[in-house]
Structure 1
Amino acid sequence: MPSANPAGNRRRARRPDLRALRAALPGPVQEVVTGYERHLNLERGLSAHTVRAYVGDAVSLLGFLTGTGEEKAPLRELAALDIGVLRAWLARQRADGASRTTLARRAASARTFTAWAHRRGDLGADPGGRLAAPRAHRTLPGVLRAEQAGEVMRASEVGAAERDPVALRDLAVLELLYATGIRVSELCGLDVASADFSRRVVIVLGKGGKERVVPFGVPAAEAVRAWLEEGRPELVAAAGEQALFLGVRGRRLDPRTARRVVHDAVGSVPGALDMGPHGLRHSAATHLLEGGADLRSVQELLGHATLATTQLYTHVTVDRLKAIHDRAHPRA
């Protein structure tokens, strides 16, 4: 059956096989990539996902520099990497259909690589410092209304009332995601010891290995307790398993399963936007701000590195207030 999106297929077809491209790089350049990967893992302590993205961008850039995989392209050493090469690399990706957001991310990734290579002595100067990139579009996240979030939880409570282990887990997952605003990866990384019921907080290991303490409310506490006491013992596969949330095979819950749980639960509420765990995170942040929480506190709860990221939610709340004003004020 032909694809309904030929442009998208063309765009995917242009993406290089980064593993093959890395293997085809000249030996000395491959060694540079290996050193960069080691730096990101050991010295920067970045997540596996972030390391893959940074290394992939470096491989793409170095493949473009050296002409790897391109007919009759001149082979150039790493020292030839300059601002002209960086701009041409981004221009090639723009021609291949990369979005402004993707270009901005890859430009930032290239700057990280060239700064590291310069510090290491592989580059005499850092060309990334002169690289400008288009600003990424920052779209406003879709969120649930507070009453819709309540409906999601109530619908999940119906299933949990049967005391089915998976239903108990799903309710606990939904309650904790919404109560804390943590990321799905952070949720799946929680251990049983991460939850402190005496203080009603979870200890979360976030991006870059940074630890933070996030509070949760009574409904989430009750749901997690029910899961631990009645659901988890029915699923756990090994006595030494430490994970707080488990899959049906008794091992640590996979983020894909958690995403499906959220999609299914939100989809059961008429009129609710289709969303996954990140949508619940957006909703939690928005509802905190609408309830009077200050921006700095929300930043700390969400684990944002900069306040600018958290400020996005102020635009969401202002837009919603404007919509309410337009509907309700007699002279709107």
Structure 2
Amino acid sequence: MGKQELHDFLEFIQLDKNYSPHTVKEYETDLVQFIAFLTEESIASFEEVEYLHARLYVTKLYNAKLARTTISRKISAIRTFYMFLSKERSVNSDAFQALFHPKQQKKLPQFFYEEELQALFEAVQGETPLAIRNQALLELLYATGMRVSELTALDTQAIDLPYGIVRVMGKGRKERYVPVGSFAVSALETYLETARPRLMKNAQHATLFVNNRGEPLTDMGVRYILQEIVKKSTLTKSIYPHMIRHTFATHLLNNGADMRTVQELLGHSSLSSTQIYTHVTKDHLLSTYKNAHPRA
């Protein structure tokens, strides 16, 4: 059931709406699960879905102990799908429009303090091609705060080393230009001149970061690299790629950058997405105050 509708919808959000490959894959997974639910409930078509069915499906998601953010995303995927069906096939889209999104659990972003980040940079030192690549990768992530999907999508032409600028393709294929500091520029120069040619071997492509076989580095590959760096360092905390992005934003705000500038550098479409970092910086200021003030 629904194979053609699903195919047409995924093609629509990918080609017409410029959704990222990651988002398209998530929507596909969400909708395949929803279609399986309809089959279990003996619902033969999307037109037959009513508000009670929508409520039942969301109840099942809660019973499966899924995170609120995951449930919220699944509702968004189905709503978007039904809006597409309404426009293209005149299918009633009211069933899921009436549902409320579950309130998201507000978690403060995790980040590294400056001394912790220094431990990471010390752990990544080395003369092998992979060590040089890893140093350039870590420097660029921290210098720009880009998402890991943006990092793995970079090609060699996206980096302008003489001017210290990187062209980043963000969500919705929105392009932005982000400055790159001198440490990252130096690490990238060394990587491009000495390490990447050795890693490429006989491969022919322009992707900036590659693995030890010369193939383009994947998001999962970046996650593995960062985990290995932490293992080599003196740190005991875990790491995930977005932590470097959180660290970038937090350090900028802690050192006096204004919110609008950080918003532009991160590629956030609205200031509200950036404002969560103000909570982190307030906590940092309060902690510093308590530790430094004699009467705190």
1:113 to 81, 96, 101: 81
* Counterpart AA for 1:119: K
* Counterpart AA for 2:46: L
In 2, distance between residues paired with 1:107 and 1:128? 7
Asked if 2 retains the 8 angstrom alpha-carbon contact of 1:46 and 1:207, the reply is: yes
1:254 to 202, 218, 224: 218
Asked if 2 retains the 8 angstrom alpha-carbon contact of 1:142 and 1:282, the reply is: yes
- Paired position in structure 2 for 1:9: none
CA drift at 1:220? 0.4
Query: Could you tell me the percent identity over the aligned residues?
Result: 37
Q: Does 2:27 align with 1:54?
A: yes
In 2, distance between residues paired with 1:324 and 1:175? 27
CA drift at 1:239? 6.5
Give TM-score scaled by structure 1 length: 0.83
CA drift at 1:76? 3.5
Over 3 Å counting, the alpha-carbon distance change for 1:271 and 1:125 in structure 2 is closer
- Paired position in structure 2 for 1:145: 113
Q: Can you list the C-alpha shifts for 1:67-111, whole angstroms capped at 9, x where unaligned?
A: x2x3xx443322122322211110111122222222222122222
- Paired position in structure 2 for 1:11: none
1:318 to 273, 282, 292: 282
Structure 2: runs of 5 or more not aligned: none
CA drift at 1:270? 2.9
Which residues in structure 2 correspond to 1:119-134 (within 5 Å)? 119-134=87-102
* Counterpart AA for 2:70: T
Asked if 1 retains the 8 angstrom alpha-carbon contact of 2:203 and 2:214, the reply is: no
In 2, distance between residues paired with 1:101 and 1:128? 17
Asked if 1 retains the 8 angstrom alpha-carbon contact of 2:136 and 2:184, the reply is: yes
Q: Does 2:194 align with 1:230?
A: yes
How many residues align structurally? 296
* SS across alignment from 1:212: strand
CA drift at 1:50? 0.9
1:278 to 238, 242, 260: 242
- Paired position in structure 2 for 1:209: 173
In 1, distance between residues paired with 2:91 and 2:68? 28
- Paired position in structure 2 for 1:171: 135
* SS across alignment from 2:72: helix
In 1, distance between residues paired with 2:230 and 2:159? 25
2:70 to 102, 110, 128: 102
Q: Does 2:9 align with 1:36?
A: yes
Give TM-score scaled by structure 2 length: 0.93
- Paired position in structure 2 for 1:8: none
Structure 1: runs of 5 or more not aligned: 1-24
